[in-house]
Homo-oligomer: A and B are copies of this chain.
Amino acid sequence: MRLNELDERIVRALAEDARRSYADIGAEVGLSAPAVKRRVDRLREQGAITGFTVRVDPAVLGWETEGFVEMYCRHKTSPEDIRRGLARYPEVASASTVTGDADAIVQVFASDMRHFERVLERIAGEPFVERTRSVLVLSPLLRRYGSGTPA
């Protein structure tokens, strides 16, 4: 599915500021407020827009420690198994299956090193996990588009 130009401009406006009024966005793209709302509603129904969220400074919420965990899984582990297993961790901000040696890359936020270690141990103990390899984030350089901050 692709969006037409109008939908894309609306999404772009919302990405910059999701609390702008429909009338305001409409003035920018050349539509009335109800027309903008109708399109946003439709985009939500179609799953193009999956929600609205807030961009937060991670440190302020106490998520001081961030890392990436490469997961090596047992044979015959399905992506859905991994997803279900990881969904239970609030510390997991994102996870994807990937090409290369590892099966998945998991982005983890923790309050401190001890917390990170504890999460890592629990993940490594999941039945579908063979082993893990992780790197810690030293400093986040760039974090655009509201990228991954736990709540």
Contacts and interface: CB of A to CB of B under 8 A. Distances in A.
Given A79-B139, A144-B150, A147-B94, A54 B55 contact: no
A127 interface: no
Given A19-B18, A83-B141, A142-B83, A147 B52 contact: no
Given A107-B147, A145-B149, A138 B96 contact: yes
- Which range contains the number of A residues in contact with the other chain? 35 or more
Contacts of A48: 56-57, 60-61
Interface of A is mostly: mixed
A87 interface: yes
Interface of A: 1-3, 8, 11-12, 14-19, 46-57, 59-62, 66-68, 79, 82-83, 86-87, 92-100, 102, 104-105, 107, 135-151
